Amino acid sequence: MSERTGCRTTTTAAPAEPEVAAVLSGALTDSSTLSRDGVLTLLQAGPAETQALFAAADLVRGRNLGGEVHLRGIIEFSNCCVNNCRYCGLRRDNGKVARYRLEPAEILAAAREAAALGVQTIVLQSGEDPCYTADMLAGIIQRLKEELAVAVTLSVGDRSKDDYRLLRRAGADRYLLKHETAAPGLFARLRPGTTLTGRLKHLHWLKELGYQVGSGNMVGLPGQTLSILAEDIMLLKELGVEMAGIGPFIPHPDTPLAGHPAGDLDLTLKALAVTRLLLPQTHLPATTALGSIHPDGRRRGLLCGANVIMPNVTPLAYRARYQIYPGKTGLHTPPLESVNAAKTLIQSLDRQVGAGYGHACAVKPGTNKKCRLDGPGERAPGGRENL
């Protein structure tokens, strides 16, 4: 087998069928036995063993999280960014992007529409845009909590620890901050001016402040090998994330990585399935990127470990301007249709739309240990006292 997810290729032998079966059997009995080498073995599995991997991931998802699929409504409120990530269509140097910023009133209106459709989590996502100060964001979060009683997830990039604290005090429940790649050199090349160490520091702060923390990575980044991908997955466990987004790299034509091949659908699904085996109770979305590289991508994600869908509820007028990668699905789909399509997909799999907020539980870094939260105002344990 060629160990190639992006540009670099090294040759490795595909593991023998009994080897894959032994790793799967061990992981099904006790997920804590799944080592980095075991993860690599599963990522290298051949076609027949891959079906067994997907079935095992689906079994683990069912055992630990049941049939619920949680809906998280994303509002992409600003496509302005101070960073210049080489893979991202919103990068600072991309002069072809028509930049926008939603007013707080527009954000609230979009959230109201989503809440009226039964969406109980609002994800506020943007580029790294300092024009939205922590005070401004805190004001928006407070209004969301008071008026709509929704759970709030933030995905607004690197901020100071004081900002994170303020936003948490304002009521933010969760924070998504992808590590993208666990290889320090690759990280520094792909995200100029930033370091993996810096990103990990931010993730630790978020954890310390009691957020439910999400991270994640891309599959098929130029320069990524299967060994690096195994490290990406192991890092999720080391961090003790409560959520993890794993999606394919999709090259954007207006970035320095234009022309590189996109990440492979099957390898992305394998990475998702292995993550489910490693982290049985962590929330894993069937990502929009998965649905963008293949029309059946999200359904297949739900069948190999995923338990979350994130319908886009950004006002239609702005949708097409928020393209980290091209060909994003749902650019012209109104919130009502986005949410209904997600519900129809969930029901077609004999699963149920998640009731309640679908909070994740606090995970101790390096373990799979969690505790259950189930009230409307619940917080990740350990959060309040650290504020």
Smallest gap from Cβ 85 to ligand SF4, in A, equals 3
Nearer to ligand SF4, 127 or 305 (CB): 127
User: Is residue 71 classed as helix, strand or coil in its secondary structure?
Assistant: strand
Smallest gap from Cβ 171 to ligand SF4, in A, equals 24
Round to whole Å and give the CA distance between 255 and 324.
10
- Give helix 196-208 / helix 161-169 axis angle, nearest 10°: 30
Smallest gap from Cβ 96 to ligand SF4, in A, equals 14
Smallest gap from Cβ 72 to ligand SF4, in A, equals 18
Smallest gap from Cβ 158 to ligand SF4, in A, equals 8
Q: Interface residues with ligand SF4 (CB under 6 A)?
A: 81, 83, 85, 88, 90-91, 127-128, 157, 324
User: Is residue 324 classed as helix, strand or coil in its secondary structure?
Assistant: coil
Asked whether 316 and 332 are in contact (CB, 8 A), the reply is: yes
User: Is residue 70 classed as helix, strand or coil in its secondary structure?
Assistant: strand
Round to whole Å and give the CA distance between 324 and 312.
14
Of 53, 64, 48, 62, nearest to 24 by C-alpha is 53
| Residue at token pair 């709509």 | 148
Nearer to ligand SF4, 157 or 383 (CB): 157
Nearer to ligand SF4, 85 or 154 (CB): 85
Nearer to ligand SF4, 157 or 240 (CB): 157
Smallest gap from Cβ 364 to ligand SF4, in A, equals 28
Smallest gap from Cβ 189 to ligand SF4, in A, equals 13
Nearer to ligand SF4, 90 or 360 (CB): 90
Q: Which structure tokens are listed for 35?
A: 């080592």
Amino acid (1-letter code) at residue 23: V
Amino acid (1-letter code) at residue 347: Q
Nearer to ligand SF4, 23 or 81 (CB): 81
Q: Which structure tokens are listed for 297?
A: 């991508």
Nearer to ligand SF4, 88 or 273 (CB): 88
Asked whether 322 and 75 are in contact (CB, 8 A), the reply is: no
**Number of CB atoms found within 10 A of residue 363's CB:** 25
